[in-house]
Amino acid sequence: GRTADLALKTAGHLLVVIGREDGHLGQSLYQQIIAGRLEGAPPPVDLADEIKAGSLIRSLIRDGGVRTVHDVSDGGLLVAIAEMALAGDLGVELFPNEGKLPDHAVWFGEDQGRYVLEVSPEEAQSIIDRARLLGIPARIVGRTGGEELVLKGEVALKLAELREIHESWLPRYMAGL
């Protein structure tokens, strides 16, 4: 059967996030690191939605249209996309958030049952339509290409720098214990 992994593969593709986004920050890494505390409830889990989203993802992989998929968990959407970019050594231009949620909630919220897919521009709309037919929100969040993570109004992050931070974090953390 066909499989997918988390490494970005092709420049000029679109990143689509599938799943409900409420910007849930309770018990999140963002809250722990930025606010210096851990409080509130963890994100709620809607099993019916999770099953629908999981089934859709499996069928998209089986149909051969999707070869790159990553679930959103600790650290939220931005962390998931950064992991995909590092795995594939391919940058991403992130599109500004146009919804009602504040930016930090969109990028760092840990809502469950969400997936990021890399899809060709030709397939993006039909995948979004398939999700919406199932009552699952879906939207385009970025475009692959280059060697940086870029979000308008923020300093671009070179993948090489991100990799350095990512790889040196654990040894530095262990040395500090």
Short-list 81, 72, 54, 59, CA closest to 141: 81
Count the helices and strands in the chain (H runs, E runs): 6, 7
Distance CA 144, CA 130 (A): 22
**Single pTM value for the model:** 0.89
- Residue 74 confidence (pLDDT): 86
Band (pLDDT 50/70/90 cuts) for residue 86 is very high
Q: Using CA atoms, how far apart are residues 157 and 171, in angstroms rounded to an integer?
A: 22
pLDDT value of residue 148: 96
Q: Is the pLDDT of residue 140 over 90?
A: yes
Residue type, 95: F
